[in-house]
């Protein structure tokens, strides 16, 4: 059943435009309180990132939840995965995150975690949507919820992060640049690495409400690359605005993306005898990563794009490790959701355990050239039912054979068909991608 308000990762949009308005968010808080508190208790935690609108939406949620008779625990600026963790450990019935992740400051969003620190089931989201459309009725004044600030939230999460790598792991002698994207990890991320003994150079840790993700973080890694080279650091860690996405940089200034980070974590697990099951990537995961998993005898499957779908496939397969090229990495043997900081710790621990630099740990995986061509469309079309396009795709796949891959998919946010081709031969990849894009353009006229 289609969702009315929720997308694949909560509700997100431009601040001041429906549904990201104070009125709607207050109603959302009330509806969520009525649905979530009825069977799981009467306590909800709220955390946010550093964008200026977070103050407004925190207050709106607080009002709505209080009207529903729910107790509110305010965490302040905290990474999204920290809110998932604290929802569990504080025994709350749900956690609410105010964040638009890697988007600019003028966007914001609301997403939820269940009592177990996982994303809400579809039926629960539908129940909240149904409740939103009901008249808001305030509970009896004696039953109104109170709000309390949790003063030690940062310390709780820092200790949890440190506990996800072996106790004997010490980072003394390592120099690490940490980029907090002026976002939710600006305090906790440098503290974690510093408390483990590393020399930490912090960048992107001066949020002003308007600069989240601006020129820093995992979506703008140039500042991290420059800082790693300037300070001759062993590694660089870049998180996004809400802390669930990770990109790293090795000592040469080269970017290590999500596929390569997953490869390093998987190989460390396998080498230490702790690899359980296989690895889930997405349809956008590089073919070189898939081949590297095959060479290591590690099962590999692809999910649709989005950490929600990676998580669903992990649960279906009863596997523990998955993620996306963009840097959303899920280590279910460590925590319940994607966590950039915990993922970074797994990679840093692999460096320490092996005694090898990050640049060497990535060597076993060769990324194949990949080309993406975006074809503008005036209206949505079913490319799977378009015979000329499907014939062209089949022909392209036969030409590439086992040395390449083709993917056509409509954009979820723009009027585009994305034509992606990858393979071992870069010249062939470019040629096939452009030929396919021409067929798509011709077929939709």
pLDDT in tens, 77-115: 999 999 999 999 999 999 999 999 999 999 999 999 999
- Pick 386 or 380 by higher pLDDT: 386
pTM: predicted TM-score of the whole model, two decimal places: 0.93
Which CATH superfamily, name and number, covers 11-151?
Answer: Alpha-D-Glucose-1,6-Bisphosphate, subunit A, domain 3 (3.40.120.10)
Q: Is the pLDDT of residue 2 over 90?
A: no
pLDDT of residue 140: 96
Average pLDDT over residues 325-353: 97
Q: Please tell me the distance from the alpha carbon of residue 84 to that of residue 97, in angstroms, as a whole number.
A: 9
At 386-403, the pLDDT tens digits run 999 999 999 999 999 989
Report the catalytic residues: 101
Q: pLDDT category, 37, cuts 50, 70, 90? A: confident
Average pLDDT over residues 408-434: 91
Q: Is the pLDDT of residue 184 over 90?
A: yes
Residue ranges of the chain assigned to CATH 3.30.310.50? 370-443
How is domain 157-361 classified at the architecture level of CATH?
Answer: 3-Layer(aba) Sandwich (3.40)
At 197-229, the pLDDT tens digits run 999 999 999 999 999 999 999 999 999 999 999
Average pLDDT over residues 154-175: 96
Q: Is the pLDDT of residue 279 over 80?
A: yes
Average pLDDT over residues 116-124: 93
Residue ranges of the chain assigned to CATH 3.40.120.10? 11-151, 157-361
For a pLDDT cut of 90, what percent of the chain falls above it?
Answer: 90
Which CATH superfamily, name and number, covers 370-443?
Answer: Alpha-D-phosphohexomutase, C-terminal domain (3.30.310.50)
Q: Is the pLDDT of residue 268 over 70?
A: yes
pLDDT of residue 40: 61
pLDDT of residue 343: 98
What rounded mean pLDDT belongs to the chain? 95
């Amino acid at each position: 059943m289609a969702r009315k308000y929720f997308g694949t990762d909560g509700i997100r949009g431009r601040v001041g435009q429906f549904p990201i308005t104070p009125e709607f968010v207050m109603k959302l808080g009330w509806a969520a309180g009525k649905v979530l508190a009825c069977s799981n208790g009467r306590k909800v935690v709220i955390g946010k990132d550093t964008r200026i609108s977070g103050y407004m939406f925190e207050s709106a949620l607080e009002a709505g939840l209080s009207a529903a008779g729910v107790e509110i625990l305010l965490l302040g600026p905290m990474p999204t995965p920290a809110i998932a963790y604290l929802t569990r450990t504080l025994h709350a019935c749900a956690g609410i995150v105010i964040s638009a992740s890697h988007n600019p400051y003028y966007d914001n969003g609301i997403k939820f975690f269940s009592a177990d620190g996982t994303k809400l089931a579809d039926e629960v989201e539908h129940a909240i949507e149904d409740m939103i459309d009901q008249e808001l009725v305030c509970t009896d004044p004696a039953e109104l919820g109170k709000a309390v600030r949790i003063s030690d939230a940062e310390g709780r999460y820092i200790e949890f992060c440190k506990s996800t790598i072996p106790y004997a792991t010490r980072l003394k002698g390592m120099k690490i640049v940490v980029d907090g994207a002026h976002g939710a990890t600006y305090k906790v991320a440098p503290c974690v690495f510093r408390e483990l003994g590393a020399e930490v150079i912090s960048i992107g840790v001066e949020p002003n409400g308007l600069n989240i993700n601006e020129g820093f973080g995992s979506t703008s890694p140039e500042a991290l690359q420059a800082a790693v080279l300037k300070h001759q650091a062993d590694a660089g860690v870049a998180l996004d605005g809400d802390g669930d996405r990770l990109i790293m940089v090795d000592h040469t200034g080269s970017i290590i993306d999500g596929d390569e980070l997953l490869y390093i974590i998987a190989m460390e697990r396998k080498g230490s005898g702790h690899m359980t099951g296989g690895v889930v990537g997405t349809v956008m995961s590089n073919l070189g990563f898939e081949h590297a998993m095959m060479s290591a005898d590690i099962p590999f499957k692809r999910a649709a794009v989005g950490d929600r779908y990676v998580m669903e496939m992990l649960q279906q397969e009863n596997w523990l490790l998955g993620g996306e090229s963009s840097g959303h990495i899920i280590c279910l043997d460590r925590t319940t959701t994607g966590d950039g900081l915990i993922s970074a710790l797994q990679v840093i621990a692999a460096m320490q355990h092996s005694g090898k630099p990050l640049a060497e740990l990535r060597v076993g995986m060769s990324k194949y050239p990949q080309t993406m061509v975006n074809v503008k469309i005036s209206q949505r079309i079913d490319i799977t039912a378009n015979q000329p396009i499907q014939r062209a795709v089949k022909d392209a796949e036969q030409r590439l054979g086992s040395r390449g891959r083709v993917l056509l998919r409509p954009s979820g946010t723009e009027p585009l068909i994305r034509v992606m081709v990858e393979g071992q031969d870069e010249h062939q990849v470019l040629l096939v991608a452009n030929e396919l894009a021409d067929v798509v353009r011709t077929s939709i006229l």
